[in-house]
């Protein structure tokens, strides 16, 4: 049964490949792919666990302020980050990826961030794959949940959520270490 299915998929695949090759001068703007092709890969859920280092201090900060007002208070302040993601809480533990993107203070009456970022992974099976996060991060809450809105590579078609929990914060510099548990469905 499995091999019959596999053959069907292979034949369908070559049929589509051949029909697109046979007409090279006319591009096809859109086409519907058959169910057989979308069934080919099974959805799975992966849990990722890592620590995010948001570093503002020192000579090479990984998060820098790129916009904001001179008003006291944080509303509008916007940061660009290229933060290391490590396996353990210690900054010297193995780097598994980076969190690249922005966060901005998006609430007038509380400390709540708009997060727009990609996790780019650089280790193991997920090396070169990425996950995109777009969400609300009320930083004073113990655990914050942010939606995963997509991904690339191994994380193509990703959906899911990320749970953030701050494990260390220096109020003088703003440096923080945040533990992330990420649950991602993908193919
Ligand atoms: C990750 O992929 C890059 C680019 O293909 C490669 O240069 C690098 O060695 C890989 N790293 C690991 C740890 O596999």
Q: How far is the CA of 94 from the centre of ligand 1 (A)?
A: 14
Q: How far is the CA of 112 from the centre of ligand 1 (A)?
A: 36
173 ligand 1 Cβ < 6 A: no
> Once rounded to an integer, what is the mean pLDDT over residues 121-133?
97
Give the pTM.
Answer: 0.82
- Nearest Cα to Cα of residue 163 among 110, 115, 94, 95: 115
> Once rounded to an integer, what is the mean pLDDT over residues 92-119?
97
94 ligand 1 Cβ < 6 A: no
Can you count the helices (H) and strands (E) in the chain?
A: 2, 9
- Does position 76 have pLDDT exceeding 80, yes or no? yes
Residues 6+ apart with CB under 8 A from 141: none
Closest Cα to atom 2 of ligand 1: 127
Residue 70 binned pLDDT confidence (cut-offs 50, 70, 90): confident
- Ligand 1 atom closest to Cα of 127? 1
Residue 85 binned pLDDT confidence (cut-offs 50, 70, 90): very high
Phi, psi angle pair for 16, to nearest 5°: -65, -40
> Once rounded to an integer, what is the mean pLDDT over residues 95-122?
97
- Does position 43 have pLDDT exceeding 80, yes or no? yes
Q: What pLDDT was estimated at residue 2? A: 56
Average pLDDT of the chain?
89
pLDDT, tens only, 159-184: 999 999 999 999 999 999 999 999 99
Q: How far is the CA of 59 from the centre of ligand 1 (A)?
A: 27
123 ligand 1 Cβ < 6 A: yes
- How many residues make up the chain in this entry? 187
| Low-confidence winner among 21-25, 26-30, 167-171 (lowest mean pLDDT) | 21-25
- Does position 18 have pLDDT exceeding 70, yes or no? no
Q: How far is the CA of 108 from the centre of ligand 1 (A)?
A: 43
Phi, psi angle pair for 154, to nearest 5°: -60, -25
DSSP structure string for 93-153: SPEEEEEEEEEEE--SSS-EEEEEEEEEE-SGGGTT-EEEEEEEEETTSSSEEEEEEEEEG
127 ligand 1 Cβ < 6 A: yes
């Amino acid at each position: 049964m499995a091999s019959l299915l596999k053959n069907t998929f292979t034949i369908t695949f070559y049929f589509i490949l051949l029909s697109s090759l046979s007409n090279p001068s006319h591009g096809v703007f859109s086409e519907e792919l058959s169910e057989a092709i979308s069934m080919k890969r099974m959805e799975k859920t992966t849990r990722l666990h890592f620590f995010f280092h948001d570093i503002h201090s020192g000579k090479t900060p990984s998060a820098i302020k790129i916009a904001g007002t001179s008003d006291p208070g944080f509303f509008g302040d916007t940061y660009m980050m290229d933060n290391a993601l490590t396996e353990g809480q210690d900054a010297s533990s193995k780097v598994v990826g980076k969190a690249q993107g922005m966060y901005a203070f998006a609430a007038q009456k509380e400390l709540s961030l708009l997060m727009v970022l990609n996790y780019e992974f650089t280790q193991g099976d997920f090396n070169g794959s990425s996950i995109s996060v777009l969400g609300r991060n009320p930083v004073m809450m113990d655990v914050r949940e942010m939606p995963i809105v997509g991904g690339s590579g191994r994380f193509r078609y990703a959906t899911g959520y990320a749970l953030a929990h701050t494990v260390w914060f220096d109020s003088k510099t703003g440096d923080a270490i945040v533990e992330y548990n990420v649950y991602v469905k993908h193919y």
